[in-house]
Chains A and B, each alone.
Chain A
Amino acid sequence: MLKNKIDLPHIILFLMGASVILITIGIIQTLFFETWGFFEEVAESRGWFVVKWDLGGIFSDNGFGCVLIFVCVIIEYLFTKNPHWTNNFPSLLNKNKNLMMVGISLFLLLCLFFFESFWVAVSLVCFCLVLYRISIIKDMHTRKANNKALWVKSLLFFLGIIGVLNSITSEFGGALGEFFFQTEWLPSASCPDRRSLCESMSFGVNGLLLTTMQVAFGALIIAIPLGVGTAIYLSEYAPPRIVAIVKPTLEILAGIPSVVYGFFALIYIGPLVVKLGDIFYENGWIDSTPSVLNPLNGAIVVGVMVLPLIASLSEDALRAVPNELREGSHALGATKIETTANVMIPASLSGILASIILALSRAVGETMAVTLAVGTMAAFTANMFLPAQTMTAYIAQRVGGDLPFGEIGYYTIFAVGMYLFIITLSLNLLGNKILEAYREAY
């Protein structure tokens, strides 16, 4: 009997499975220890965390924006308590929701264009959100509205707190403060002693993070309509002959190595973007001549790269919707496009959302194409026609030269890598969670 209990294959296979845990621990401990080394090194000369308070900031335009956000919180609270107050509002608010949406969108665009201060723009956006919610609250049952309002309130509160902190602190210093809050990334400034770090170096990772986000979200702006459109077309409309063309195309697109995409961006998309940038420059919308290497270039090429991912995952989500829903909608006399818009997309929304989140994670972690397309000069600027550098590109560029272990340059790549790892891992966790949830739903 005892012999039967020792199942050798079981144990061996378990150890094989457990190697995944080992790898994960290895990755995390590697990144953690080297990142710790980085912060320690920087902290030796600058301290761990320093904040300079400037209470006068509350009276600036940023402060004004934050006050507006808190006003929004109060309005939201009052209206969810007593929905009947909406009767006092003009009928426009109550009746025409579509018009309301158009108006809000226009208003948002205006906000983003005309307000120099980021926080004023954010607060106006919040204000619009609250107005829109008030217009729909009336239709809801009070308790339901309350439940749904919870995330809005917490979001607004969160934004407000961050805004206040942002407006009343003039500077974050020290190792942590510099890394997470400053915007200048100058890790390889010339120092008298090459191995140590000096005052002229600065490690504000936001200079890299902003470009990464520009590239990733720009890629999503391109890839979401195309990818989701492709998925809908493939699952709802396409005749088999076109499916036989489109699906292998997507597979090939997914299979092309990223460095080839980078080369493509360099020789083809870059010059096109420069032409566009010249038009912008002539009209005075940007204040410097465009360069071949720029975040827009990277955004386009990464958009093409993540398109197959979005398309295939969204198509899976659409195919998972039971046929009864589709047929029911057709039976009620809806056309195909109405069925798609009103039944299929809402039913598979979580799957599409998950695909978008996973694509975002892929876009953030993309390295070679971005290195070749975006350039290797870290810059914190909203102008997407100038060369910049993403987080992954920094790692690839820095490590491409000879990099002695234990130097500050060696530590920086791990600090940046840790940040990247945390971002992508949380995005992946979120995306996979949503995917699992929708798999269980049907």
Chain B
Amino acid sequence: MVDLSKIPLKSRKKRDVTEKFGFFGLGACALVGLLFLCILVWQILSPTIINGAEGEISAVNEYITETDFILEWYNPNWDAVNEEIITEEIILRLKWEDTNGSHIHDLEVRVVEERYIEGDVYINNLGVSDTIINVSKKSHLTIYSSLEYPVEILQTKGPVPKADEMGMPEAGDFVIETDIHVLFDDQGKPVFTAQDLLAWSILFIITLIIIYPNEFVLSIIEKLARQKYIIWGVASLFSLISLFGENFGLKDGEWRGYIAVFIWFLIVKSIFAINSGIKRLRKANKSLSHKLALSQSIINRDGLLLGNWFLLFIGFWTIPVLIDSPFFVERYQNIFQPYSSGIRAAFYGTIWVMSIAMVVALPISVGAAIYLEEYAKPTRLTKLIQALVTNLAGVPSIVFGMFGLAIFVKEGGFGWGLGQTVIAGGLTMGVMAMPIVVLASQEALRSVPRSIREAAFGIGCTRWKVVKDHVLPFAIPGILTGSILAMSRIMGEAAPLIVVGAASVIYFDPEPFAAFTDSKFINFTVVPVQIYQWTGLEGDAWKSMTAAASLALIMLLVGMNSIAIILRQHFRKRLLS
């Protein structure tokens, strides 16, 4: 034993200092990551928020330099700062020169109170279609030109929107803006399907009851659930109204009726499930206030809850609320006007590529994981497969891109000759996602308790039955989480798709199966490639557009990751209980 008092004081002090230093030093190390994250987020956010100084120009000039060009002008005459209409009318002077000499036409733009009136002006050899045009405040004026000569548009009278030196509207006004507003029809009445909202809110309430049961409400449900036929009748009546109702009936391309049917079905199911839980509690002589017991006694509680949340989420989109984000879903890339371009093509391209990748990768990789975990004997071959999976997960993404280029895109040799299409990109991404998903699924399968397998074998199940009925239901949440995470990881990858040939600029929505049709529009692009392309362009405008696109991408990824985390938490709770 060392006598503490005999250790020299100096040495003890030294030890204390090193201890403190170690604690704070290591803590600082750990927080550097946070610091970096903060700087990164700030750096990406700042270009999208900062407003520049007001420009000194007196009028906005736009040139229609190409034939068949469309000029779109958002929110003319709308003062975004004070949120009011500027009463001064705007006069645009349209000028062009052709073989007959020069033409000058004045176009007066008036903004009216009514909503959703959009102005279209056509220019052709005969002149301009209108001299006075009405637009509403949240819409845009569109000028279509079918001339063979450039048209100069000059604003001669009226207020000038905020603009920078180049005559472009400012960053703060344009970068990712999202409007949420309830839709109204022409008479100003809300376009409102009451029964959808009713279904949605009842499902919401019932879901809340399942999660946070209340004794009083439960007793009501208990009485209600006795009237089985009435409940089924009411639910089917409402479903029928949603489907075939006169005023609300399905219009072309609308699917909210089908969703309402599903919602009603789940409402009834949930009511009966709660009732079953109550009955069991009564049998066990427990009071209804015993929340934990209730949550465990409801049959298939988690499946129901998951279904409910899912339908609530989908149903939310069918409620007549317009989420209007032009940057995402309306604007294509526009090389000449940074602030009026968006990521529409890239956004849909990403969705298609991800969908194809997952459809390709998920079944095969889950199968491979099941084989490796449940079936494989430790032979040399299976060891080789395992090693390959582990090492493929670490191969640089660009190598997968080159694999895709030589196999899927190229024609001749081993190439499949799909061309630079969405499907080639999707297959490449699927191959890249495969090892990641296999590893995640293996992890999930490994976490299934051994006793479950042994019990199933003990009552004489075959191996496949054990896997299908006992192991997979336990492992599915883990597999799901892992594949969502893998998906979000490959969603941010640009390198393989650049190699496969994602175009940098396209003006149309990508067609997923263009490789098999005679379509001209075979190219595609994805959000990361779009960001990569925008970083190469000069100017502050492009900087803020890039930042906006990065922000959009990060938000997409964070959204997907949080879905994965919520799923994980949800199922972990179930496994623990």
Q: Which residues of B are found within 8 Å of A367, using beta-carbon distances?
A: 396-398, 494-495
- 1/0 per residue, CB under 8 A from A, across B13-35: the answer is 00100110111011101111110
Q: Which residues of A are found within 8 Å of B27, using beta-carbon distances?
A: 233, 237-238, 242
**In this complex, what residue of A is CB-closest to B25?**
A229
Binds B, one of A16-24, A95-103, A140-148, A276-284: A16-24
Binds B, one of A63-71, A77-85, A106-114, A392-400: A392-400
CA A308 – CA B389 in complex, angstroms?
A: 22
Q: Which residues of A are found within 8 Å of B547, using beta-carbon distances?
A: 263
Report A276 CB to chain B, min CB distance, Å. Answer: 16
B498 within 8 A of A: yes
Q: Which residues of B are found within 8 Å of A238, using beta-carbon distances?
A: 27, 30
Q: Which of B30, B37, B375 has the most CB of A within 10 A?
A: B30
**In this complex, what residue of B is CB-closest to A427?**
B394
A322 within 8 A of B: no
CA A12 – CA B368 in complex, angstroms?
A: 9
Contacts A23-B392, A263-B547 given; indicate if A392 touches B23 (C-beta within 8 A). Answer: no
Q: Which residues of B are found within 8 Å of A21, using beta-carbon distances?
A: 384-385, 388
B183 within 8 A of A: no
Q: Which residues of B are found within 8 Å of A9, using beta-carbon distances?
A: 463-464, 467
Q: Are B43 and A425 in contact (CB under 8 A)?
A: no
Q: Which residues of B are found within 8 Å of A308, using beta-carbon distances?
A: 33
Q: Are A20 and B397 in contact (CB under 8 A)?
A: no
B227 within 8 A of A: no
Q: Are A251 and B561 in contact (CB under 8 A)?
A: yes
A13 within 8 A of B: yes
CA A395 – CA B497 in complex, angstroms?
A: 12
Contacts A229-B25, A264-B44 given; indicate if A20 touches B388 (C-beta within 8 A). Answer: yes
Q: Which residues of A are found within 8 Å of B495, using beta-carbon distances?
A: 258, 367-368, 392, 396
Q: Are A259 and B532 in contact (CB under 8 A)?
A: yes
CA A234 – CA B131 in complex, angstroms?
A: 71
Binds B, one of A116-124, A188-196, A413-421: A413-421
Q: Are B492 and A259 in contact (CB under 8 A)?
A: yes
Q: Which residues of B are found within 8 Å of A130, using beta-carbon distances?
A: none
CA A317 – CA B2 in complex, angstroms?
A: 33
Binds A, one of B307-315, B321-329, B549-557: B549-557
A246 within 8 A of B: yes
Q: Are A229 and B392 in contact (CB under 8 A)?
A: no
Binds A, one of B136-144, B156-164, B402-410, B452-460: B402-410
B343 within 8 A of A: no
**CB within 8 Å: A-B pair count:** 263
Query: Which residues, 353 to 406 on B, are CB-close (under 8 Å) to A?
Result: 363-365, 367-368, 370-372, 375-376, 382, 384-385, 387-392, 394-403, 405-406
Report B352 CB to chain A, min CB distance, Å. Answer: 18
Using a Cβ–Cβ cut-off of 8 Å, how many residues does chain A contribute to the interface with B?
90
Q: Are B23 and A16 in contact (CB under 8 A)?
A: no
B336 within 8 A of A: no
- 1/0 per residue, CB under 8 A from B, across A259-289: the answer is 1111110111000000000000000000000
Report B272 CB to chain A, min CB distance, Å. Answer: 35
B431 within 8 A of A: yes
- 1/0 per residue, CB under 8 A from A, across B468-499: the answer is 00000000000000000000110111110011
A384 within 8 A of B: no
Contacts A258-B494, A358-B394 given; indicate if A340 touches B22 (C-beta within 8 A). Answer: yes
CA A238 – CA B372 in complex, angstroms?
A: 37
Q: Are B2 and A229 in contact (CB under 8 A)?
A: no
Q: Which of A30, A260, A417, A432 has the most CB of B within 10 A?
A: A260
A439 within 8 A of B: no
Contacts A27-B399, A420-B396 given; indicate if A337 touches B19 (C-beta within 8 A). Answer: yes
CA A425 – CA B392 in complex, angstroms?
A: 8
**In this complex, what residue of A is CB-closest to B365?**
A16
Q: Which residues of A are found within 8 Å of B554, using beta-carbon distances?
A: 256-257, 260
Contacts A256-B554, A399-B498 given; indicate if A249 touches B37 (C-beta within 8 A). Answer: yes
Q: Which residues of B are found within 8 Å of A257, using beta-carbon distances?
A: 491-494, 528, 553-554, 557
Q: Which residues of A are found within 8 Å of B371, using beta-carbon distances?
A: 10, 13-14, 16-17
- 1/0 per residue, CB under 8 A from A, across B410-447: the answer is 10111000000000000000010011001000000000
Contacts A17-B368, A27-B395, A253-B33 given; indicate if A395 touches B26 (C-beta within 8 A). Answer: no
Query: Which residues, 1 to 47 on A, are CB-close (under 8 Å) to B?
Result: 7, 9-10, 12-14, 16-21, 23-24, 26-27, 29-31, 33-34
Q: Which residues of B are found within 8 Å of A30, using beta-carbon distances?
A: 402-403, 406-407, 414
Q: Which of B382, B434, B498 has the most CB of A within 10 A?
A: B498
Contacts A229-B26, A246-B34, A250-B33 given; indicate if A421 touches B395 (C-beta within 8 A). Answer: yes
Q: Which residues of B are found within 8 Å of A258, using beta-carbon distances?
A: 492-495
Q: Which residues of B are found within 8 Å of A362, using beta-carbon distances?
A: 394
Query: Which residues, 419 to 438 on A, are CB-close (under 8 Å) to B?
Result: 420-421, 424-425, 427-429, 431-432
B558 within 8 A of A: yes
A197 within 8 A of B: no
Contacts A30-B414, A246-B30, A256-B40 given; indicate if A13 touches B23 (C-beta within 8 A). Answer: no
Q: Which residues of B are found within 8 Å of A268, using beta-carbon distances?
A: 39-40, 43
Q: Are A253 and B36 in contact (CB under 8 A)?
A: yes
Q: Are A396 and B398 in contact (CB under 8 A)?
A: yes
B543 within 8 A of A: yes
Report A74 CB to chain B, min CB distance, Å. Answer: 40
Q: Are B499 and A396 in contact (CB under 8 A)?
A: yes
CA A252 – CA B565 in complex, angstroms?
A: 12
Q: Which residues of B are found within 8 Å of A10, using beta-carbon distances?
A: 371, 375, 463-464
Contacts A26-B407, A237-B23, A260-B553 given; indicate if A16 touches B364 (C-beta within 8 A). Answer: yes
Q: Which residues of B are found within 8 Å of A431, using beta-carbon distances?
A: 394
CA A251 – CA B371 in complex, angstroms?
A: 30
CA A256 – CA B556 in complex, angstroms?
A: 11
Q: Are B494 and A424 in contact (CB under 8 A)?
A: no
B333 within 8 A of A: no
Contact residue among A23, A259, A338 (Cβ-Cβ distance under 8 Å from B494)? A259
Contact residue among A16, A31, A400, A428 (Cβ-Cβ distance under 8 Å from B394)? A428
Contacts A7-B464, A13-B375, A14-B371 given; indicate if A364 touches B37 (C-beta within 8 A). Answer: no
Contact residue among A13, A368, A429 (Cβ-Cβ distance under 8 Å from B391)? A429
B134 within 8 A of A: no
Q: Which of A20, A242, A362, A425 has the most CB of B within 10 A?
A: A20
A333 within 8 A of B: yes
B531 within 8 A of A: yes
Q: Which residues of A are found within 8 Å of B26, using beta-carbon distances?
A: 229-230, 232-233, 236-237
Contact residue among B368, B388, B392, B535 (Cβ-Cβ distance under 8 Å from A262)? B535
**In this complex, what residue of B is CB-closest to A246?**
B30
- B residues within 8 Å of A by Cβ? 2, 15, 18-19, 21-23, 25-27, 29-34, 36-37, 39-40, 43-44, 47, 363-365, 367-368, 370-372, 375-376, 382, 384-385, 387-392, 394-403, 405-407, 410, 412-414, 431, 434-435, 438, 462-464, 467, 488-489, 491-495, 498-499, 501, 504, 528, 531-532, 535, 543, 546-547, 550, 553-554, 557-558, 561
Given contacts A260-B554, A367-B397, A368-B493, 7 further A-B contacts (CB under 8 A): A233-B30, A256-B492, A258-B495, A367-B398, A368-B494, A396-B398, A400-B504
20 examples of A-B residue contacts, CB within 8 angstroms = A10-B371, A17-B372, A20-B434, A31-B399, A33-B413, A229-B29, A229-B30, A252-B558, A259-B535, A260-B531, A263-B546, A304-B36, A337-B21, A337-B22, A358-B394, A362-B394, A365-B395, A368-B493, A396-B398, A420-B396
- A residues within 8 Å of B by Cβ? 7, 9-10, 12-14, 16-21, 23-24, 26-27, 29-31, 33-34, 225-226, 229-230, 232-234, 236-238, 242, 245-246, 249-253, 255-264, 266-268, 304, 307-308, 311, 333, 335-338, 340, 358, 361-362, 364-368, 371-372, 392, 395-396, 399-400, 405, 413-414, 417, 420-421, 424-425, 427-429, 431-432
List 9 tightest A-B contacts by C-beta distance, closest first: A365-B396, A257-B492, A229-B29, A16-B367, A337-B22, A367-B495, A13-B371, A233-B26, A17-B371
